[in-house]
């Protein structure tokens, strides 16, 4: 016999009743048994649960403190890196003089210098002072960073001066007739301790010399040419530390405090601004003295002092080797236990009454709601069947304010979308073809702007030149150029614009034009790039920049003058030798920052010498395993084709790149240029 068909209405009623009754029975039984078991739970089990909760709260707060202190430590490390970079390349930074303290600047962040003593001559340290004056650009943002409470940042050097950055234009050891304020920091603990350290660390507590309260410092040494050169340090008021780290409680009567590794309480609600001696939990007068070793042991935990009705939750703050501790009264821990027992009996009674009421309500509601669900579904079924047959003008008529109504609306939206999609598809396809055609035109226009007829100067016997560019997209940001500056000088240019696509291509046109227009046979190439850089910065609203290399060859003498703005170094092969990288210190990129000065260089070329220049798309071509083509492989291919002409060298390199890359997609333009100096101009 065929199985009798069961309607959705019947199945919903049956399902709701079965699930509801089973769930209510199970919930009621489990609830009653659970509450009965809770009443039998021992005080020890409840205590374990509370201890875990206290450990979690304290540990989480300690981790938050670690994160906060790590911020100060990272700032100090950043200062060390910046100072060492100043010492490593002082010529790349502007001179920013640092003046003596000026009382008129009190209340305003300012750089202030303090020689150690009168024996320190300003003429001996003024260059180093002016170099370290650049720290203001790093320190000012640190002072204004949200959530960071730095009171003072300062640096003391082995050469004998201190630079302070804060709002206190203090004048220490200032005598009548002096023009300087002196501060001997060589015997200060922060300087001596940092001199022995190899990384950032936090000092012990000490009173602030300005009377603002107790202070803790984060300090680190820095080096010059591998030798110790000084210490950079920042001060944090303990009151600020208290607000940001330990100003919390877990209930009435509880409070938190901070311990150093010796057990001294260095931050708590009771510490006064002028306090000079600090309570230690190892003192017998302290309630936790007998458990001090466990609290300071570096673990997370809770200790109970039953005779004193106290609990102490503790967790380590690893960055500064401190311990966060919370004082908790016993009454706070057990205050909820009695409330739980009082409610258990009442809850058991409510469970039984609620069970009976809910069963009756479920039976009645299941019958009602099954009808409200199934009737809209039936109407929706008929409407959707009509739409599915291709009648996209049909609309579902269900208007219920629920998921079924949403489903009907979705079907209606789908019908509208399908109809619109069919109408728009043709237009979208045509638009895509139009854009593709325009990009193809742009590609041909860009290609035509670069020298592309070879040989470019068939009547010139002094040199042979060849160049290629393969953009990663329809249009690219790389460009090359070569042109006769006059009858005796040949200029070559290789550049790479940041970014890809149309914006980079447009910026390429500007950069190419400016470089060519400003290059003359007598001009200094460093001045050319300096002027071009300023002009590019004026019209650089998109924040693009260019790495560029330009060289000018004197065809009579063989002198090759060059300038480099952040571009890859060229390969040079002298007659009878192999291609090797000609290492040039790169200058700053073009359009990156105004008023950058570029330095030109020169080298001597003889007949038979070759120069190969390229963009990073060559060395950073990537295969399917994300391995880079690299400088070593490029050098090997160049030397394997050493005897070839430029016309043959570039195709050989491109072929090797294609073999290396395979089918992996490339994301950068590949541009190359090779120049061979064949004979001197007569």
**CATH code where residue 563 lies:** 3.60.40.10
Same-domain check for residues 325 and 398: no
Asked whether 159 and 128 are in contact (CB, 8 A), the reply is: yes
pLDDT score of 607: 96
Mean pLDDT of 236-263: 74
Same-domain check for residues 479 and 400: no
Q: Is residue 384 part of a domain?
A: no
Helix (H) or strand (E) run with residue 496 in it: strand 489-497
- Count CB-CB contacts under 10 A for residue 630: 14
Give me 580's structure tokens.
């090797």
Better-scored residue on pLDDT, 346 or 6: 346
- Distance separating alpha carbons of residues 655 and 102, to the nearest angstrom: 68
Task: Please identify, among 329, 354, 376, the residue that sits at the C-terminal boundary of a domain.
Answer: 376
- Give residues with Cβ within 8 angstroms of 136, minimum separation 6: 96, 111, 165
Confidence at 574, pLDDT banded by 50, 70, 90: very high
Mean pLDDT of 662-679: 90
Q: Is the pLDDT score of 171 beyond 60?
A: no
Q: Is the pLDDT score of 433 beyond 70?
A: no
81-95, 410-424, 440-454: the lowest-pLDDT one:
440-454
Mean pLDDT of 155-161: 94
- Sort residue 253 into left (φ over 0), alpha (ψ -120 to 50) or beta: left
Mean pLDDT of 42-63: 74
Asked whether 125 and 230 are in contact (CB, 8 A), the reply is: no
**Gyration radius of the chain over CA positions:** 39
pLDDT score of 508: 86
- Distance separating alpha carbons of residues 613 and 563, to the nearest angstrom: 13
Residue 524's SS3 state is coil
Please report, for the domain that includes residue 301, its CATH number.
3.30.450.20
Please name which of 321, 315, 328, 327 lies closest in space to residue 63, comparing C-alpha atoms: 315
Mean pLDDT of 57-81: 86
Residue 471: C-alpha distances to residues 406, 425, 670 (Å):
49, 30, 6
Same-domain check for residues 158 and 270: yes
Task: Please identify, among 343, 376, 409, the residue that sits at the C-terminal boundary of a domain.
Answer: 376
Q: Is the pLDDT score of 487 beyond 60?
A: yes
Q: Is residue 381 part of a domain?
A: no
235-239, 329-333, 668-672: the lowest-pLDDT one:
329-333
Same-domain check for residues 78 and 208: yes
Number of structural domains found in the chain:
3
Same-domain check for residues 308 and 175: yes
- Distance separating alpha carbons of residues 190 and 201, to the nearest angstrom: 10
Q: Is residue 231 part of a domain?
A: yes
Q: How far apart are the first and last CA of the chain?
A: 112
Same-domain check for residues 362 and 395: no
Residue 219: C-alpha distances to residues 81, 116, 196, 494, 681 (Å):
13, 19, 11, 46, 64
Mean pLDDT of 592-596: 93
pLDDT score of 474: 57
Q: Is residue 617 part of a domain?
A: yes
Give me 611's structure tokens.
């120069």
Give me 259's structure tokens.
């311990």
pLDDT score of 303: 82
- Distance separating alpha carbons of residues 122 and 161, to the nearest angstrom: 9
Residue 488: C-alpha distances to residues 480, 491, 602, 678, 680 (Å):
20, 10, 17, 14, 10
Same-domain check for residues 457 and 581: yes
Mean pLDDT of 610-636: 94
Asked whether 374 and 11 are in contact (CB, 8 A), the reply is: no
Same-domain check for residues 161 and 235: yes
- Average pLDDT over all residues of the chain: 82
Helix axis angle, 330-388 relative to 43-88, nearest 10°? 80
Domain that holds residue 438: 390-444
Tell me the pLDDT tens digit for each residue of 111-143: 999 999 988 888 889 999 999 999 999 998 888
pTM score, whole prediction: 0.43
Got the DSSP string for 349-367?
HHHHHHHHHHHHHHHHHHH
Q: Are strands 227-237 and 214-224 parallel, antiparallel or unpaired?
A: antiparallel
> How deeply is 395 buried, as exposed, middle or buried, from its count of CB atoms within 10 A (0-12, 13-18, 19+)?
middle
Same-domain check for residues 326 and 417: no
């Amino acid at each position: 016999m065929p199985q009798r068909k069961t309607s959705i209405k019947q199945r919903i009623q049956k399902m709701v009743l079965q699930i509801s009754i089973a769930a209510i029975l199970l919930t009621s039984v489990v609830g009653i048994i659970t509450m009965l078991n809770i009443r039998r739970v021992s005080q020890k089990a409840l205590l374990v649960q509370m201890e875990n909760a206290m450990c979690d709260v304290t540990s989480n707060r300690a981790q938050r403190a670690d994160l906060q202190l790590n911020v100060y430590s990272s700032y100090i490390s950043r200062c060390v890196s910046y100072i060492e970079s100043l010492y490593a390349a002082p010529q790349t930074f502007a001179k920013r003089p640092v003046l003596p303290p000026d009382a008129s600047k009190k209340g305003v962040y300012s750089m202030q210098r303090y020689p150690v003593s009168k024996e320190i001559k300003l003429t001996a340290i003024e260059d180093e002072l002016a170099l370290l004056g650049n720290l203001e650009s790093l320190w000012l943002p640190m002072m204004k960073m949200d959530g960071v409470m730095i009171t003072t940042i300062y640096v003391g050097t082995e050469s004998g001066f201190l630079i302070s950055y804060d709002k206190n234009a203090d004048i220490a050891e200032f005598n009548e007739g002096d023009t300087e304020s002196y501060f001997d920091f060589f015997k200060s603990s922060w300087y001596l301790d940092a001199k022995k350290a190899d990384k950032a660390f936090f000092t012990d507590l000490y009173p602030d010399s300005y009377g603002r309260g107790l202070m803790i410092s984060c300090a680190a040494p820095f080096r010059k040419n591998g030798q110790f050169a000084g210490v950079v340090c920042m001060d944090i008021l303990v009151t600020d530390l208290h607000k940001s780290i330990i100003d919390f409680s877990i209930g009435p009567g509880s409070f938190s405090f901070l311990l150093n590794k010796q057990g001294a309480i260095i931050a708590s609600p009771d510490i006064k601004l002028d306090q000079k001696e600090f309570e230690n939990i190892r003192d017998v007068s302290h309630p936790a003295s007998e458990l001090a070793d466990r609290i300071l042991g570096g673990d997370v935990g809770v200790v109970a002092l039953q005779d004193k009705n106290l609990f102490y939750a503790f967790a380590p703050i690893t960055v500064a080797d401190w311990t966060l501790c919370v004082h908790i009264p016993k009454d706070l821990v057990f205050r909820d236990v009695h409330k739980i027992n009082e409610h258990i009996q009442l809850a058991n009674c409510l469970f039984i009454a609620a069970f009976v009421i809910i069963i009756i309500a479920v039976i009645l509601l299941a019958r009602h709601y099954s009808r409200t669900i199934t009737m809209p579904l039936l109407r929706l079924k008929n409407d959707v069947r009509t739409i599915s047959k291709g009648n996209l003008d049909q609309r579902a008529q269900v208007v219920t304010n629920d998921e079924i109504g949403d489903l009907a609306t979705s079907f209606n939206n789908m019908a509208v979308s399908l109809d619109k999609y069919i109408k728009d598809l043709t237009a979208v396809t045509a638009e895509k073809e139009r854009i593709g055609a325009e990009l193809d035109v742009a590609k041909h226009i860009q290609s035509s702007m670069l020298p592309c007829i070879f040989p470019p100067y068939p009547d010139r016997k002094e040199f042979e030149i060849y160049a290629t560019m393969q953009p990663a997209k329809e249009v690219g940001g790389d460009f090359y150029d070569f042109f006769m500056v006059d009858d005796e000088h040949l200029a070559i240019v290789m550049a790479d614009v940041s970014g890809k696509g149309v914006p980079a291509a447009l910026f390429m046109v500007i950069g190419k034009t400016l470089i060519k227009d400003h290059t003359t046979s007598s001009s200094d190439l460093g001045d050319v790039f300096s002027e071009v850089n300023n002009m590019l910065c004026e019209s650089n609203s998109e924040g693009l920049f260019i790495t560029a290399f330009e060289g000018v060859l004197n065809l009579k003498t063989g002198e090759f003058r060059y300038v480099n703005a952040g571009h890859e170094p060229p390969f040079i092969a002298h007659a009878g030798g192999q291609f090797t990288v000609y290492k040039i210190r790169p200058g700053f990129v073009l359009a990156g920052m105004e008023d950058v000065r570029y330095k030109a260089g020169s080298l001597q070329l003889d007949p038979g010498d070759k120069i190969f220049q390229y963009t990073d798309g060559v060395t950073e071509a990537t295969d399917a395993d994300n391995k880079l083509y690299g400088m070593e492989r490029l050098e090997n291919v160049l030397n394997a084709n050493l005897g070839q002409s430029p016309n043959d060298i570039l195709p050989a390199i491109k072929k090797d790149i294609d073999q290396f890359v395979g089918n992996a997609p490339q994301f950068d333009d590949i541009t190359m240029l090779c120049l061979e100096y064949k004979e001197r101009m007569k």
